[in-house]
A and B are shown apart, each in its own frame.
Chain A
Amino acid sequence: MALKDITLGQFFPGNSFIHRLDPRSKIIFTVLFIVIIFLCKDLVSYGLVLASLLVLVGISKVEPKVFVKGMKPVVFIVVCTAILNLFYTDGNVLWSLGFLKITEEGLWKAFFMVLRILMLICSTLLLTYTTSPILLTDGLERLLRPLKKVGFPVHELSMMMSIALRFIPTLIQETDKIINAQKARGADFDSGNLMQKAKALIPILIPLFISSFRRAEELAIAMECRCYHGDEGRTSFRQLRLHGRDWAFMTFTILLLAAVCVLRYFGL
């Protein structure tokens, strides 16, 4: 079933070094890593960054196959970027045919762009694969807490996020169930023109909407029954604590950032 194969944003439980890190250090790493990727300019820094990413993926003990699968949705973007960069960069012409030309600079640029996008996706996948959604939102809430001073609804936002994340698998399951139930009554989702295909979705969407509203209402009531009234005076069951490994991991991240900066602004 295609729906079940969505891995983007999925969590793979484990007990590796990466899994045990505090979610905050992983979030900070992911943000800084994106900066690092965009600071890279030369082969050496790309090599360095790629190598560290691969090592981290290795340490996480999540199967590399899963990462490859998670990157599939962006293949189209990657290919487009590669083609655009390949043909539309001026410089030392290597090959040309009519108005099409490939330059040495274009080749390098295309290569680096592809590498950038793939590393970007890979690093975010590393975060979501090794951090449970609940820890992820807890971490985000803690990191964003200073923004509350300026009236930003940090708690509400993170509560909405954790509920949404919590219900994605449920909704997928529900959708699967409804699809199967309608298939059992002979529903056909694959044949016909676009109009007919769109119409075939109605028997799925209506029950899905109805059950989502029902669920939302039930959840709201259940939360109120347990005296949920927002952020005020709320304590947390899971106390986030930074351990030695978190400091080590963040030091590593900063060092990587520094190295890439040095390479970018001072050369070798």
Chain B
Amino acid sequence: MEPIIEIKNLTHIYSPKTPFEHKALDNVDLTIYRGEYLGIIGRTGSGKSTLIQHLNGLMKPSSGQILFEGKDIWGSKAMTHDIRYQVGLVFQYPEYQLFEETVYKDIAYGPRNMKLSEEEVDRRVRQAAKFAGLSDAVLERSPFELSGGQKRRVAIAGVIAMEPKVLILDEPTAGLDPAGAAEILENIEAYRKSNNATIIFVSHSMEDVARITDRLVVISKGTLPYVGTPHEVFSHGEDLDKLGLAVPAMNRVFSRVHAMGVDIDPAVYTVEQAKAAFLEAFRRKERV
């Protein structure tokens, strides 16, 4: 797999040399690959938002480096500017950043900043709207008269319209009903498939993230104690629980059963896996 973003020894300190000094990231190392679906999980205040804002150059590392396609994003001015379009970042509650008269104009804000031709802007806006599940009728309406879920989609479309190679979403489903959340997840997956884009999905809910991502990063107090496939990460179920993360209920049961000395896979986190694990355990028992 080909790396797209490399984070090297990244440390970030808020308000350095004041009484409010706070180390939000401590010597973080991480490589992110092209086309992968990466999940970042951590409890409130663990440093998730701080980490992702470094990836598109919104925050400058206190020390350490971020490489995008092998080049330091702070290496040259052009690079620092360009990185914003290559790495699209959808903030937490992005609906509060809408400002234009129509949905169309709001989605076009990013592409226009990229100084693209009008036809290209139009193509991208319509394409992004399609990815985000917005109909043509919505495009001409004011963003302020939409429902919360629709606003969220407009904001996501506004970033997708820049056609970034890496799309980062900070809690994109927070505050949405399950149906709305599921739709947004589908939209994101559709964008990934068609553009071979890297998706970074930030959340504090393990249940969602584990299901959709290829690889999980656990962040706790500014460090990354566990990185790996969901299966690998959940084999540390008990430790995750101690870090204050809401481990999926299924995983809690299985890691507890495993800790009691039963020979069963402790990393189970979905119902299907649970069924498979049980059947396997019984089969093994019969054989004995």
Contact = CB atoms under 8 A, between A and B. Distances in A.
A186 B114 CA distance: 7
Interface of B: 15, 18-19, 53, 56, 58, 84-85, 88-91, 94, 96-99, 109-110, 113-114, 144, 158-159, 162
B15 A184 contact: no
A157 interface: no
Interface stretch (A33-41, A112-120, A203-211): A203-211
A211 B93 CA distance: 12
Contacts, number: 56
A173 interface: no
Interface of A: 4, 12-13, 66, 177-178, 180-188, 202-203, 206-207, 210-211
B159 A184 contact: yes
The secondary-structure label for the interface of chain A is: helix
Given A203-B99, A207-B98, A211-B96, A185 B113 contact: yes
Contacts of A211: 96
Nearest to A174: B96
B144 A181 contact: no
Nearest to A183: B58
A180 B55 CA distance: 13
B113 A180 contact: no
A66 B110 CA distance: 39
Nearest to B15: A4
Contact of B162 (A180, A185, A207): A185
Contact of A180 (B58, B98, B114, B159): B58
Contacts of B90: 184
A187 B97 CA distance: 12
Given A207-B97, A210-B144, 10 more contacts: A4-B15, A178-B96, A180-B58, A181-B97, A183-B58, A184-B89, A184-B91, A186-B85, A203-B109, A211-B96
21 contacts: A177-B91, A177-B96, A178-B96, A178-B97, A180-B58, A182-B109, A184-B84, A184-B89, A184-B91, A185-B84, A185-B159, A186-B84, A186-B85, A186-B113, A187-B113, A203-B97, A203-B99, A207-B96, A207-B97, A207-B99, A211-B96
Contact of A181 (B18, B94, B113, B114): B94
Contacts of B15: 4
Contact of B88 (A4, A184, A187, A210): A184
A172 to B, nearest CB: 13
Nearest to B89: A184
Nearest to A200: B113
Contact of A202 (B99, B113, B162): B99
A79 B271 CA distance: 73
A207 B85 CA distance: 22
Contacts of B144: 210
B96 A180 contact: no
Top 4 A-B pairs ranked by shortest CB distance? A186-B113, A206-B99, A185-B110, A181-B97
A185 B99 contact: no
A210 B159 CA distance: 21
Contacts of B98: 207
A183 B159 CA distance: 11
A183 B53 CA distance: 11
Given A13-B19, A188-B113, A210-B144, A181 B99 contact: no
A12 B18 CA distance: 10
Contacts of B113: 185-188
Nearest to B115: A186
A178 B94 CA distance: 9
Contact of A182 (B19, B97, B162): B97
A42 to B, nearest CB: 38
A12 B21 CA distance: 12
